Amino acid sequence: MTVQIIEATAELRLDNGPLNLVDQTLLHSLDKALTHVEKQSGVRALVLHGGSGRAFCAGSDMRTFAGLGDSAAERKILFEDWVLRRLAALPFPTIAAVDGPALGGGLELALACDLRVVRAGVSLGLTESRIGGLAGNGALRLTRLIGPGRAKEMLFTGETISVDKALEWGLVNRLAAESALQEARELAAAIGGRGPLSNRLAKELVESALDSPLGAGLAKATVLQQRIFDSADLSAGVASFFDKRNAEFTGA
The pLDDT of residue 246 is: 85
What 3-state DSSP class applies to 102? strand
The pLDDT of residue 211 is: 86
Least confident of 143-147, 160-164, 216-220, 245-249: 245-249
Active-site position among 11, 38, 74, 128: 128
Active-site position among 11, 80, 108, 183: 108
- 159 annotated active-site: no
- 11 annotated active-site: no
The pLDDT of residue 84 is: 97
Q: Provide the whole-model pTM.
A: 0.94
- Residue 60 CA, chain-centre distance (Å), reads 18
Strands (E) across 84-209 are located at 94-98, 102-103, 115-119, 123-125, 161-162, 174-176
The pLDDT of residue 65 is: 63
The pLDDT of residue 66 is: 62
Domains of the chain: 2-192 (3.90.226.10), 196-243 (1.10.12)
Over residues 94-106, mean pLDDT: 97
Residues 29-86: tens digit of each pLDDT: 999 999 999 999 999 999 999 998 889 999 888 776 666 666 777 788 889 999 999 9
pLDDT band at 251 (very low <50, low <70, confident <90, very high): confident
- 119 touches 99 (CB < 8 A): yes
- 51 touches 14 (CB < 8 A): yes
